[in-house]
Structure 1
Amino acid sequence: MNRKGCPEEYPITLIVNGFEIAVFQLTNSDLVDWAFGYLFSEGLVEKVDDVIEVQVNEEKGTINVSLNEAFDEEIFFSKKKHYTAGCGRGVTFFSMTDVKSFDKVNSPQTYPLSYLLKKRSQFAQNSPMYLESGGMHGACIVQEDGSIVIREDIGRHNAVDKIIGYALRNRLNPEKLILLTTGRVSYEMLSKAAKYGFAVIGSRTAATKQAVQLAKYLNIEVIGYLRGKMSISYTSFGRVINDLEERKVGGSSY
C-alpha cells in the first residue's frame, strides 16, 4: 500500500490595523501572499502600496497587517458574511450584486486550447504539496512568457488568494495572465478572479451555474475539466481557440 503524508492546516488569525478579522484554516506556506490576496479580494486594499507591512508570527498563529489608510471596522463588519463552499472553510463579504459591479474584462489576448492543456499538465507536475499528500488544492498563473507560478493550500479559495497576492505584489498585468485552479469554480472563486481582472480561467473540474452567469456578465472566459485532451467551454469570448479535434464532453463540446 502506498502511503502519502497528510495535508496540513493551521488556524491563522488575520489582524488588520489592530482589529481581528477572523480565524482562517490555512496551509502554513506563502502566508504573506495570502494576506495580500485576501485583503485585495475583499476590497480592503486596491494596490500593493496600500499595505505598509505584513508580519507573520508562526508561533502565535497570527498575521498582522498595517495599512496606510485607517480601517473602518464598523463598515466592514456590517457587511453580510458569505461562507465559501469548500474545504479550508472561508468567508467572503462580497455578494453576487457586489461582484456584478466589478469592471468587465476586455482583454484581446487569445490562446490555443492545446496551450491551456499543456500548462495544466505542467501545473499538475509541479505541485509538490499535492504530489506529497494527494489532498491539496492549487492555483497557478501562466505568464506572458509561458512561465508558471504555483501556490498551494488546503482550501481552493486560499490557494487562489495566494496566487492573486503574488501577482499583486509583483504588479503583474492580469489581462496577460491565465489563472488555473484545481478546484471547482464557484461564485466566490469567480469573484476573486474578477476582482483582479483575469480574462481566462481554467479548472481541472467544474464551474457552478452562478459562477458561469457572473463570468458571462463580466466577459470572463471559463474553461472547465481541463484533463488530457478534454475540456468544457462554459463561456466563449473568443480568447480560447479550439485547435484540437472536437471531442464531446457531457453536454458541451470543445
Structure 2
Amino acid sequence: MNHKGCPDEYPISLIINGFEIAVFQLTKYDLEDWTYGYLFSEGFIQEASDIESILINEEMGSIHVSLSSHFDEEQVFSKKKHYTAGCGRGVTFFSMTDVKNFDRVASDKSYQLSYLLKKRSEFAQNSDLYLETGGMHGACIIDEEGMLAIREDIGRHNAVDKIIGYAIRKRLQPERLILLTTGRVSYEMLSKAAKFGFPVIGSRTAATKQAVQLAKFLNIEVIGYLRGKMATVYTSAGRVINDVTAELPLERSIEGGNS
C-alpha cells in the first residue's frame, strides 16, 4: 500500500497597516503570491505597486503588509464578512450584489475543447503537492503560448488567490488567459476570476447555480467536469469549440438547482 504525506495547513494572520483583517488557514507555499492575490481580489489594492512592503513570519504565523495609500480600517470592518465554503475556509468582503457591479469581461478569444482537456491533464500531472499528499487544491493559469503557472493550497480559494497574485506581480493581462481550478466554482471563486478579468474558468468538478448566474451576467465562460473527453459548459459566451465529438453535450441548464 502506498502512503502519501499529509497536506499542511497553518493559521496565518493577515495584518494591514497594523490592523488584523482575519486569520486564514493556509499552506505555507507562495504566501507572497497569496497576499497580493487576496488583497487584489478583495479590493484592498488595484495593482502590485499599491503594496510598499510585505513581511512574512511563518514561525509567528503572520503576514504584515504596508500599503502605499491610506487604509481605512473603519470602512473595512463596517462591511459584512462572508465566510467561504470548503477546506481552508476564508473570508470575503464582497457580496453577490457587489460582484454584479464588476466590469463585464471582454475577450474575442476562443479555445478548442481538446486543447482545454489537454491542458487540464498537464495541470494535474504537474501539481506536485497534490501528487505528494493527495489532499491539495490547485489553480493554474494558461497563457497564449500554452505555458502553465500552477499554485497549490489546502483551500481552493487560497490557490486561486495565489495564482492571481502571481499574475499581478508578473503584470499579466487577463484577456487571453485561462484559469483552471481543481475546486468547485462557487460564487466567491467566480468573483475572484471576475475581479481579475479572466474570460474563461474551468474546473474538474462542478459550478454552483449562483456562480453560473454571475458568470452569465459578467460574460465569463464557465466549464465544469473537465475530465478525459468530458466537459460541461454552463454558459454561452461562445469561447469553447467542441472538436471532440458531435454527441458530447457541451451545455446544459441548471436553472432547477445546483450542480
Tell me the TM-score normalized by structure 1.
Answer: 0.97
Matches within 5 A, 1:22-61: 22-61=22-61
Q: Where does structure 2 lack aligned partners over 5 or more consecutive residues?
A: 254-259
Q: CA deviation at 1:236?
A: 1.6
Matches within 5 A, 1:75-94: 75-94=75-94
Q: CA deviation at 1:79?
A: 0.6
Aligned residue number for residue 11 of structure 1: 11
Aligned residue number for residue 246 of structure 1: 246
Q: CA deviation at 1:248?
A: 4.5
Q: Would you say 1:210 and 2:237 are equivalent positions?
A: no
Q: Is the 8 A contact 2:137 2:154 kept in 1?
A: yes
Partners of 1:248 and 1:108 in 2: how far apart? Answer: 24
Q: CA deviation at 1:97?
A: 0.5
Partners of 2:13 and 2:83 in 1: how far apart? Answer: 17
Aligned residue number for residue 126 of structure 1: 126
Alpha-carbon spacing, 1:37–1:139, altered in 2? closer, same or farther (3 Å): same
Runs of 4+ in 1 over 6 A off after TM superposition: none
Q: CA deviation at 1:106?
A: 1.0
Partners of 1:3 and 1:247 in 2: how far apart? Answer: 40
Partners of 1:166 and 1:50 in 2: how far apart? Answer: 15
Q: CA deviation at 1:232?
A: 0.2
Q: Where does structure 1 lack aligned partners over 5 or more consecutive residues?
A: none
Partners of 2:102 and 2:252 in 1: how far apart? Answer: 28
Q: CA deviation at 1:249?
A: 6.1
**Which whole-Å deviations, capped at 9, do the CAs of 1:41-97 have from their partners, x for residues lacking one?**
000001111111111111111111110001101100111111101100111000000
Aligned residue number for residue 163 of structure 2: 163
- SS at 2:105's partner residue? coil
Identical residues among aligned pairs (%)? 74
Alignment: residue pair count: 253
Partners of 2:235 and 2:115 in 1: how far apart? Answer: 18
Q: CA deviation at 1:246?
A: 3.2
Q: CA deviation at 1:252?
A: 3.5
Partners of 1:246 and 1:204 in 2: how far apart? Answer: 21
Q: Is the 8 A contact 1:230 1:247 kept in 2?
A: no
- SS at 2:214's partner residue? helix
Amino acid at match of 1:135: G
Q: Is the 8 A contact 2:233 2:251 kept in 1?
A: no
Partners of 2:173 and 2:251 in 1: how far apart? Answer: 34
- SS at 1:71's partner residue? coil
Q: Would you say 1:199 and 2:199 are equivalent positions?
A: yes
